[in-house]
A = this chain, B = another copy of it.
Amino acid sequence: MNMSQFNFWMPVHVHFGVGITKNMVNEIKGDHVLIVCDPFLYKCGTAQGIGNGLTGKDVYYFSEIEPNPSTTSVDKCAEYARANKITTVIGVGGGSSMDVSKVVSCLITSPGSIYDYYAGGKQVFKKRTVKLILIPTTAGTGSEVTNVGVFTNVKAGIKMPFVCGEFWADCAVIDPEMTYTLPPAVTASTGMDAFCHAIEAYWNRESLPLCDYLAIGAMKLILENIQTAYAEPNNTAARGAMIVASLTAGVAFSQTRTTGIHALSFPLTTEFGASHGLACAITLPAFTRISTEMASEKMQELAQILGFRDVNGLADGLEKLMVSLNMPVRLNQLGVKQEDLPHITRVGLGAAAQMQLTPATVNEAAIQALLESIL
């Protein structure tokens, strides 16, 4: 725990309640609302369920958000928002729609393309005047309470995070009902993504006490509820607990950033097609084992709080949990071969901002060895 220096700032209004997304009209600024979502949330009516509650407002939909959203989608959505003089953007979805909404809400009043502000762009967003509301539909990304968006940079062909002070939402509306229809595989992978956020905040080299406490709470809640939410998709108590855990983990890692797990997830997603949650969870046990190098005492304490003998016991337990959720635990299950490891290692190390926050040595040899141990 970093007891010498830390900052904490969480400016997002968080509203939690079962069914509260049905009646959000009092949260809206202006009259032109854009709901950003993926094609599935539009087809199944979830987005319209939110839009229909906005009595008296002009509601527009942009429903073309893909997983690992591209910079191209961001620019297209921004054009649509500008054309319709949007005053409130509501991002509904997993991380993708929420992340796009963050940038789009800024691009409405700042001219140009996402590339003018990101990935070497030289512009800085003006103060955001459009209201930004984020509604998670998975219990996983925590994106509703972070100032980070992750995009597939089409020019560079890689996933890259975009951090910006204007990306803090005005409010996050957390409604467990949004997750009741999640398929079990998504419940599992997004739930383990949330677990990664929590443990990465906790073992982070920039960890801070408030976030440690939140992270511990989130991890306990996930371990107590993920198997129930997976096996009984209609268990509302487990669904509520999982989305609260994701929120809590989100607040924790919003202050610390993530670590090696997320750094390595980028190539596993971009190049091997793994969902973000799977791409993160697959290295979770291995990173747990090496976290003792620099965070031995606090990881031992965590293991005991979570009901394990020691850190290796925790790592074993997490792997068993993943197996019970029918998640891959070996890289070869994602199609990764021995000869891919040097490249994955290099790309992962390229996400240096995250990688360097890992509480262990993270050079080429160490990361290659970690990947080999779970091949």
Contact = CB atoms under 8 A, between A and B. Distances in A.
Interface of A: 3-18, 20, 208-210, 212-214, 216-218, 221, 237, 240-241, 244, 247-248, 251
Nearest to A240: B3
Contact of A210 (B18, B214, B240): B214
Given A210-B251, A213-B248, A10 B7 contact: no
Contact of A7 (B6, B14, B241, B247): B14
A168 to B, nearest CB: 10
B11 A16 contact: no
A304 to B, nearest CB: 11
A6 B248 CA distance: 13
Nearest to A218: B213
Contact of A9 (B14, B208, B244, B248): B14
A209 B237 contact: no
A217 B212 contact: yes
Contact of A5 (B6, B13, B17): B17
Given A3-B241, A3-B244, A213-B216, 17 more contacts: A5-B18, A6-B14, A6-B16, A7-B16, A8-B13, A9-B13, A9-B14, A14-B210, A209-B217, A209-B244, A210-B251, A212-B217, A213-B213, A213-B217, A213-B218, A216-B216, A216-B217
Q: What are the 7 A-B residue pairs with the smallest beta carbon separation, nearest first?
A: A213-B217, A8-B14, A5-B17, A9-B13, A213-B213, A6-B16, A3-B240
A7 B13 contact: yes
Nearest to A208: B16
Nearest to A4: B18
Contacts of A17: 4-6
Contacts of A241: 3
Given A221-B209, A248-B213, A16 B9 contact: no
A303 to B, nearest CB: 15
B210 A217 contact: yes
A195 to B, nearest CB: 15
Contacts of A3: 237, 240-241, 244
Nearest to A11: B11
A54 to B, nearest CB: 20
A147 B208 CA distance: 23
A250 to B, nearest CB: 10
A45 B10 CA distance: 33
A9 B4 CA distance: 25
Nearest to A3: B240
Nearest to A243: B3
11 contacts: A3-B244, A4-B18, A5-B18, A6-B14, A6-B17, A7-B16, A14-B210, A16-B208, A213-B216, A214-B214, A216-B217
Contacts of A216: 213, 216-217
